[in-house]
Structure 1
Amino acid sequence: MPKQMLSNPPRGKRRTTANGDTRKRAVNGSISHYKDEKKGLHVFSMEHPQKTGPDGKRMPRLRAKNKDYNAGLAAIQGKFDRVKQGLPPTVSKITVGWWLDYWYEHILKVTAKPKTLEGFEIAIRLHITPHIGNVKLEELGPDHVRYMQEQIIEATGVPTARKARRVLNSAINAGVGERKELPFNRVANVPQPKALPSTKTPYTPREAAMLLRFVQDSEDFYASLWGFFLLTGDRKGEAIGLTWDCVDFVNDTIDMSWQLQRYTKKHGCEPLVIAPNGKVEAWTCERAYGAYCPQARFDFPDWYEVRELWGGLVLSRPKTEAGQRLIPMIAPLRELLARQAERTYDEPNNVHNLVWYNIRPRSMFRPVSPEFVDDLWASVHEQVGIPSRSLHEIRHTTVTLLMAFGVPIEIIKQIVGHSTVFSTENYLHVGVDLARKEFAKLNMLLSIDTSEPEVVVSAASGRRLPPGLSPQIRAIS
C-alpha cells in the first residue's frame, strides 16, 4: 500500500447518512472515513485487496474503529498489510495450546495408532504447552521453539526435547493450509538438538554364542524364547505375542503380523462431577482410574485392528506395514520351536494359542507381560555370566553380525522389520528364500550346526502336533 495512505485519505462528494452523520465519499481504492458523533469513534473502511473470494463472491470491506483518528488510520492500514501477506485481517486469539488440543482431538486421532497418540499426548501436555502454549499461533516463531527446547533439555534431557520438537513440527505442518494463522511453517527450519551418542553395546560374537549354548542346553520353559530373540532380532512385543497359527512348520516360515502391547482402559461409566474446565473429577463407579472401573473399556478407533487378550494386554498390528512380514525358520530355530510346541501347542488351557505364556501359579496361561520378560532376561545374564543388556540390544547384535558377513541390507531390513522396507506380497515370499540362505552365515559365525537337525519332540502328552512335525521322534528326557 502506498505510504500516502497513512495521510488524510482523499474525499469525494459530501453526503449525509440517515442518522445525521456527514461524510464524503472516498475515491475508489482509498480509505473511507467518517466520525460517528454519537459514539465518538472514527470509522475507517477500505476495499479488500483480493476483491473476490474462492466462491466468486465479493470480499467484505476491511473496517476499523478508534476514538483516535491516527490510531484508527494505522489499524486499517495494518489490516490491509496483513491481508496482502495472506494473514487474517486481525491478529487471531488462537494460541499454540488451543491448536495442539484441536489437532490432537480432531486430526491426529483419526489416523494415528493408539501408542502414537499416547506419546504425542504426553509431549503436548508435559513439554510443549507448559512452555509455549500461551503464545498466539500466528506469532509462533523460531525464538519460541528454541526457548522450548532449552527448557526441556534443562529439565528432562535431549531425547525429550527432540521428541517435543517433532510433535510440534507435525502439528504446525497439519495447520498449514487449514489455519489462516499459519500460511507456512515458521518453525520447520529450527534445528533439532543433536542426538546424544548411543550407549547401546551389541553382544560380542562370543557372548551371543554363550547365550545360544545356554538356550540349547537349558530345559527352562522360556529358553526357546531367548533363542527366538537371538536368531531373529524381533522386537519384544512381536516375540511374546507370537501365536501357533503364525508358525508354519510345513514351509518353515513365521508370520510376524502381530505384537503384544499394553494399553490402559478408560472409564465405561458416566461422569459424576465435571469441573468448569471440562475435566472429569469423579465418575459414577467411584474409581479414580479407568482400569479399575467395572465397565472399563478400550478406546480404540474402529479402523484399528486389535485382539484383546487379558487385562490391558492386547495383540495389535506392528507400527508399520514393514513389520508385517514372513521370516525364515532356520534349523536351530525350528528345533527350539518344536521343543516349545510339546509344551504349549494344543494345550486346552492355552485359550489364546500363544507360543509362550505365563507359568506363574496366579497367572497361569495368561500372556507374558513385557515387564516380566525383562526381569527374566536379566536373570539369564546372571546364569550365563555376561553383562546384562536390554532385549532391544539383541536387534543390534543380529543386524551387526549379518552385516559383518556381507548380508545385503535389504534382507536384513526384512528380517528385523525395519520401516524402510517397501515390498509387495510377492516380494515378501521371494525375500524369505533369500533370507534363509543368508541366515546360514550367522549360524557359521556362532558355530552352530546348520544341517537339518533331528527334531526332538515327545508325543507322550497325547496332544496333536503342529503340521510339519513328525510324531515318531524320540522323547525329550
Structure 2
Amino acid sequence: MGTIVARKDGRFHAAVYVLTPDGGTKRKYVYGKTRDEVKAKRVELLDNNRKGVPSMSSTMQLGDYLDYWVESIVKVERAESTYAGYETVIRRFIKPHLGKRKMNALTPRDVRALIAKLRKEKTVLGEKLSDRYVQNVFEVLRSALSNACREELIGRNVARLVATPSRGETDIEPLDEEAARAFIRAIAAHWLHALWLILVTTGLRKGEALGLAWSDVDMETGLVKVRRTVQRVRGRLLFGKVKTKRSRREVYIGRVALAALAKHRQQTAERLSEPLNPAPEQPDDLIFVTSSGRVVEPRNVNTMLNRILTNAKLDHVRVHDLRHTAATLLLLDGATIREVMEQLGHASIATTANIYGHVLDAAKKRLADRMDRRATGD
C-alpha cells in the first residue's frame, strides 16, 4: 500500500507499485514536505491502479509516452483513420529519432533536429517526404507533448517553442475550362456519371461523395448534406464522420447533376442482384454501390478516372484534382474566396487563399477585363 516513511532530511516519502504504459508494474517513489502531502500523492497513484491508468513520470522515455498516448488517448477519442495515421507517424518517424530521449530532457533543439532529419527521410516508395507530411509529423509530436503538459508530466511543450515547418507551395493540377468540358462529355455514358459530376462541380472529397446516402440529398432543391466519409484504412473500409466541423456542411448541386442522380437511382435498382453484400456500418440507402450493394471501392475510383482520361486523351490528374477543378472554376466565375471555403469545407479562409491564391489573381484580372468591356462598350 506504500508505507509513509520519515526521512533524515525532514521530508517524507512512500513507495508504491504502479502500472506502466506497457502493462507491467514498477515501483514508484513520491516525496513531500509533510506526511499528508505524501499521503495525497500515494492515494492518487493507488487510484490510478484501480482505474487501470498508468502512472508515469517526467523521466520516462518519450517513446514510451507516445505509445501510451496513441493507444490510450488517440485510439479512444479520435477516428480510427486518425489513430492509424498517428500510429504510423510515431512508429516510423518520431520514435526512431527521439524515442530514447527522456521527457524532461527534451529540448527545442531536439525538435529542430528532428525536422532537419525528416527533410532527408524517404517514404516506403523511396520518395522524399513532402513538406506537408513533415509538418504533419511535427504537429503529432506537438499534440502529444501538449497532452503531457495537461497530465503535468512536463512543465512546457518544447515543440511550441519551435517554428512550425512550412508546408511549401501547394501543387495543384486542376482541369482548365476546356478540359473540364471535355471530361464532362467523356463521363456521360459512364455508370458512375453522377459521381463524376458531383466531384467536378461541387468540390466534394472522394470519401465524402462515396459516403453520400439518398437521405442526405433533397432531389427537389438539390441540397446535399455532407455528413460522413468512407475510406480504406489498413485494409478495412471504414465509414466515419467528416474530419472537421467545417467539413460537416451543406452544398447544392445543379439540375444536370440532379438529373444524373435520378437516372443513377433507377439504374442502380435495376443492377442490384441478390445476395447483397454491404460493407460493415454501411448506410442502407448509400448512393454509390456496386451490383452487390457494396460501397464503391475508393481505390477503384482512381483506376476508373485514369481510364476515362486516357480514352478522352486528356492529361492525367488525380481524383482530388477534380476538387481543385471545381474550386478553380468557381473562382474564375466570380465566386468569393469565402464562398469557395464554405463549399470545400476548409477549416479557415487562409487555407483556401493559400491553395488558390494564383487563381484569385487570374479571377481579378478577368474582372478587370470585364469592367473594361463595360466601360468601352465592347
- DSSP-derived class of the 2:317 partner: coil
Q: Which amino acid aligns with 2:146?
A: N
Q: Which residue of 1 aligns with 2:335?
A: 407
Which residue of 276, 286, 291 corresponds with 1:354?
A: 286
- DSSP-derived class of the 1:342 partner: helix
**CA-to-aligned-CA distance 1:14-54 (integer Å, 9 cap, x gap):** xxxxxxxxxxxxxxxxxxxxxxxxxxxxx972669xxx989
More helix, by proportion:
2
Q: Which residue of 2 aligns with 1:109?
A: 75
The alignment's C-alpha RMSD in Å is 2.9
Shift of 1:55: 11
Q: Which residue of 2 aligns with 1:463?
A: none
Residue pairs, 1:32-431, within 5 angstroms: 45=9, 57=36, 92-156=58-122, 157=129, 158-180=131-153, 182-215=154-187, 218-264=188-234, 312-345=236-269, 349=273, 352-359=284-291, 364-420=292-348
Q: Aligned partners of 1:213 and 1:388: how far apart in 2? A: 16
Q: Aligned partners of 1:395 and 1:124: how far apart in 2? A: 30
Q: Which residue of 1 aligns with 2:364?
A: none
Q: Which amino acid aligns with 2:178?
A: R
Sort the Cα spacing of 1:346 and 1:175 in 2 relative to 1 into closer, same or farther, 3 A: farther
**CA-to-aligned-CA distance 1:55-85 (integer Å, 9 cap, x gap):** 994579xxxxxxxxxxxxxxxxxxxxxxxxx
- DSSP-derived class of the 1:358 partner: coil
Q: Aligned partners of 1:209 and 1:358: how far apart in 2? A: 27
Identity %: 26
Task: Kindly name which structure, 1 or 2, has the bigger radius of gyration based on alpha carbons.
Answer: 1
Q: Aligned partners of 1:59 and 1:224: how far apart in 2? A: 67
Unaligned runs of 5+ in 2: 1-6, 13-30, 40-56, 123-128, 279-283, 350-378
Sort the Cα spacing of 1:179 and 1:98 in 2 relative to 1 into closer, same or farther, 3 A: farther
Sort the Cα spacing of 1:45 and 1:177 in 2 relative to 1 into closer, same or farther, 3 A: farther
- 4+ residue runs of structure 1 moved beyond 6 angstroms? 52-56
Q: Which amino acid aligns with 2:289?
A: Y
Q: Which residue of 2 aligns with 1:441?
A: none
Q: Which amino acid aligns with 2:90?
A: I
Q: Which amino acid aligns with 1:321?
A: K
Q: Which amino acid aligns with 1:327?
A: V
- DSSP-derived class of the 1:261 partner: strand
Shift of 1:226: 1.3
How many residues are paired up? 293
Q: Aligned partners of 1:163 and 1:353: how far apart in 2? A: 35
The answer (yes or no) to whether the contact 1:244–1:345 under 8 Å persists in 2 is: no
- DSSP-derived class of the 2:346 partner: coil
After TM superposition, the score normalised by the length of structure 1 is 0.56
Q: Aligned partners of 1:54 and 1:176: how far apart in 2? A: 24
Shift of 1:388: 0.5
Q: Aligned partners of 2:33 and 2:315: how far apart in 1? A: 66
Q: Which amino acid aligns with 2:245?
A: E
Shift of 1:141: 0.2
Sort the Cα spacing of 1:46 and 1:185 in 2 relative to 1 into closer, same or farther, 3 A: farther
**CA-to-aligned-CA distance 1:247-283 (integer Å, 9 cap, x gap):** 221332222212222244xxxxxxxxxxxxxxxxxxx
Sort the Cα spacing of 1:368 and 1:92 in 2 relative to 1 into closer, same or farther, 3 A: closer
Sort the Cα spacing of 1:176 and 1:54 in 2 relative to 1 into closer, same or farther, 3 A: farther
Q: Aligned partners of 1:224 and 1:55: how far apart in 2? A: 72
The answer (yes or no) to whether the contact 1:358–1:368 under 8 Å persists in 2 is: yes
- DSSP-derived class of the 2:9 partner: strand
**CA-to-aligned-CA distance 1:370-410 (integer Å, 9 cap, x gap):** 11110000111112211100011111121122122332333
Q: Aligned partners of 2:239 and 2:92: how far apart in 1? A: 29
The answer (yes or no) to whether the contact 1:374–1:391 under 8 Å persists in 2 is: yes
Shift of 1:179: 2.8
- DSSP-derived class of the 1:207 partner: helix
Q: Aligned partners of 2:175 and 2:58: how far apart in 1? A: 55
